[in-house]
Structures are given as structure tokens and as C-alpha cells.
Amino acid sequence: MENRRKGDNKPIRQTTKDKYAQYLRDYLNPVLGYLPMNAIKPANIREWYDSMKVTKDGRGESIRRHVFELLDAIMPEAATKPLDDQGSTLIKVNPAQFKVPRPATKHVYVIATREQVQALTDAMPPNLALGVLLAGTLGLRQGEVLGLQHRDIELDASPALLHVRRSAKEVSENGHKVSILGETKTPSSKRDIEVSAPLAGKIREHLATYVDKKPTALLFTGVRTRGTIGDYD
């Protein structure tokens, strides 16, 4: 798993590796982990698949499919990738050879009303309240909000601009969760967003109250870290 690559041969991101590790730990190992790889049969795969709980309204179906996709990537490689000059492989036959139906239910997006966004903003600690407004009014992802730095804000532009250039992520490091700044979800996620005058005023107030003047200072930090995770170039 450590050496897996995407279809374009680019290395898999650390956050994706962490997700795969979670899938193995929480969903695959409890059912299949006791078996040697060459002893896993199609019946064992089906047993694992059926053990994944899915509610009547479809909750759990998506995660089951994602975990199976990981398994469906591991097994064919184990059956075909040579381990030596003789062409030996870990297993002879791929046991994960059945089609997984797509979830019957589609995710329904619920768009918050202006009143709901404001209510959530009012309920947040003052140093984080602006983050809810940015997500709710500008459509930023959570990681994009938490990845914003002082240099990403142009309040003197006409109109004011907010630049999305990076995303904050949690990764595992020596068994602990740590926050890092990395790439946005996709290259097209990097974007420049016009900011209305009222929102620009709230951003200006937030910068003056909570954010260091360094260009790389994060707009949002935890009380315990006090910005120590924010010195990124």
C-alpha cells in the first residue's frame, strides 16, 4: 500500500494512505486479517462484504463500496505482480471477482439557509466564527478555510479577493494525528473568489483581532496551538 500509485503514476497522497490504513484496520482486518493471503477465497470476500452493515436508507453503502475498491486493487496486483525472476506471485487467483452494485440511494445535498448559516456563526467561538461565514457564503471546503493565510486576502482590491491556494489536512504521524498544509482537493480547486463589501469588513475585523501580520499566518488556529502549525511557506 505504501508504494501504490494513482492511474497517472503520481504518488498517492499521505491523506489517502491514511484512509486506506483505516479501511484495513476497521473493515478488512477484523474479518479477513486472520487468513493468509493465499487462503482467501471468494466465499471469504463475500462473507466480509455481507458483514458490512448497510441501513435501509442506504447509509454504509458508500463506505462498503470504497473499501471493496481498495480490496479490488490489492488482490489483482497480488495475483499478477511477480515477486522474483521465476514470476512467482503472492496468490494464484484473484478472489475478489464479483461486481459490487452501485448504491441505490443518491446523496441528497441540503443547502443551509442564510438564517441557518448566521445561527451557526453566532454559536461559534469568536476566533472561528468567520470560518463558518466563508464556508457558507463562498462555498469553501473545511480544509480550504483552515488553510487560509494572511497573504490569501486582498481587501484593498476592487472588489476584495480571497485566494484559495492550499488545504489543511490531518495525517497520521507516529501514531498521532497532526495537521499539515497541502494541495487542494483538485488543481481546479485553486481559485480566486470575489468578496462582498460586508463580508470584507468582517474579514478585516478578524485579521486585526486574531491574525498575525506575517504573510504566512493562518486565519484560523486552535486555542492550544496558538498558530504554531501556521508557519508554512
Domain assignment of residue 218, yes or no? no
Residue 2 has pLDDT above 60, yes or no: no
Place of cell 481559485: 191
| CA nearest to 145, candidates 221, 232, 223, 224 | 221
Minimum mean pLDDT among 21-25, 138-142, 153-157, 214-218: which range? 21-25
CATH code of the domain containing 160: 1.10.443.10
Same domain, 93 and 183: no
In which band, very low, low, confident or very high, does the pLDDT at 102 lie, cut at 50, 70 and 90?
A: low
Task: Express each pLDDT in 166-203 by its tens digit.
Answer: 998 877 777 677 788 888 888 899 999 999 999 999 99
Tell me how far apart the alpha carbons of residues 3 and 18 are, in angstroms, rounded to a whole number: 13
Residue 104 has pLDDT above 70, yes or no: no
| Sequence letter at residue 188 | S
Task: Express each pLDDT in 62-76 by its tens digit.
Answer: 888 888 988 888 898
Give the per-residue pLDDT at 230.
38
Give the per-residue pLDDT at 179.
80
Same domain, 98 and 160: no
Give the per-residue pLDDT at 83.
86
Give the per-residue pLDDT at 8.
52
Task: Express each pLDDT in 108-131 by its tens digit.
Answer: 778 889 999 999 999 999 999 999
Residue 211 has pLDDT above 50, yes or no: yes
What's the domain count of the chain?
2
Q: Are strands 153-154 and 176-182 parallel, antiparallel or unpaired?
A: unpaired
Minimum mean pLDDT among 140-149, 173-182, 188-197, 208-217: which range? 173-182
Structural domain range at position 203: 114-210
Burial 86-97 (b: 16+ CB within 10 A, else e): eeebebeebbbe
How large is the average pLDDT for residues 128-135? 95
Same domain, 18 and 82: yes
Distances (CA, A) of 133 to 64, 65, 158: 34, 34, 20
Tallying the residues shown for the chain, one arrives at: 233
Q: What integer best gives the mean pLDDT of the chain? A: 84
Please state the pTM of the whole predicted model.
0.63
Same domain, 119 and 104: no
Domain assignment of residue 204, yes or no? yes
Residue 231 has pLDDT above 60, yes or no: no
Task: Express each pLDDT in 6-47 by its tens digit.
Answer: 455 567 777 788 888 888 888 888 888 888 988 999 889 888
In which band, very low, low, confident or very high, does the pLDDT at 139 lie, cut at 50, 70 and 90?
A: very high
In which band, very low, low, confident or very high, does the pLDDT at 84 lie, cut at 50, 70 and 90?
A: confident
Same domain, 185 and 203: yes
Same domain, 57 and 152: no
Tell me how far apart the alpha carbons of residues 44 and 47 are, in angstroms, rounded to a whole number: 5
